[in-house]
Amino acid sequence: MYKGSCLCGEVTYQLKSEPKKVSHCHCTMCQKQHGAAFATYASLLKTDLEYLSGKEQLVSYNSSNSIIRKFCGQCGSSLEWCGSKDFPDWTSIAIGTLDTPYTDDCIVDIYTDTKVSWLIHQSPNKA
C-alpha cells in the first residue's frame, strides 16, 4: 500500500494497487505545470486512488482536450492527471508526492523530443 501527500500536507491519498505503468513525461505541459525538467506519473485504476483527506483542496485545470490536471489549491503540489479518452477508467498520480518509497526502476521516458537540454538523466537502463 502506497501513501502520499502534497507539500502542505492537506491532501493525503493512498494507492490500493501497485502502479501499472510509471513514466517520466518530458512534454512541455508537464514541464510547465511541475516547474521541473519532467514529471513522473504512475498509472492506476481510478478506483484504486483514494483520497484520505483534503479532497476539497484539489483544484482541477483542464490542460488539453479532456485532460484534467489536479493540484493542491493551498500549496500547488501537482497530484493527479486524468481524463484520457483512451483510458477512461485510469488515472495517473505524480509519484514525487509519495511518502512511501517507490523502488521499481522500470520507468519509461516519454515525449523525449521536448526533453530539456540541461537534464543529466541517469537511468539504470541507459548508458
Residues that bind Zn ion (CB under 5 A): 6, 8, 10, 25, 27, 30, 72, 74-75
Question: How near is the Cβ of 94 to Zn ion at its closest, in Å?
Answer: 10
Question: How near is the Cβ of 111 to Zn ion at its closest, in Å?
Answer: 6
β-pairing, 108-110 vs 21-25, is: parallel
Q: Which is nearer to Zn ion, 28 or 47 (CB)?
A: 28
Give the burial class of 122: count Cβ atoms within 10 A of its Cβ; 0-12 exposed, 13-18 middle, 19 or more buried: exposed
Q: Which is nearer to Zn ion, 22 or 25 (CB)?
A: 25
Q: Which is nearer to Zn ion, 8 or 36 (CB)?
A: 8
- The count of residues in the chain is 127
Question: How near is the Cβ of 115 to Zn ion at its closest, in Å?
Answer: 11
Phi/psi for 29 (5° steps) reads -70, -40
Grid coordinates representing 73? 489549491
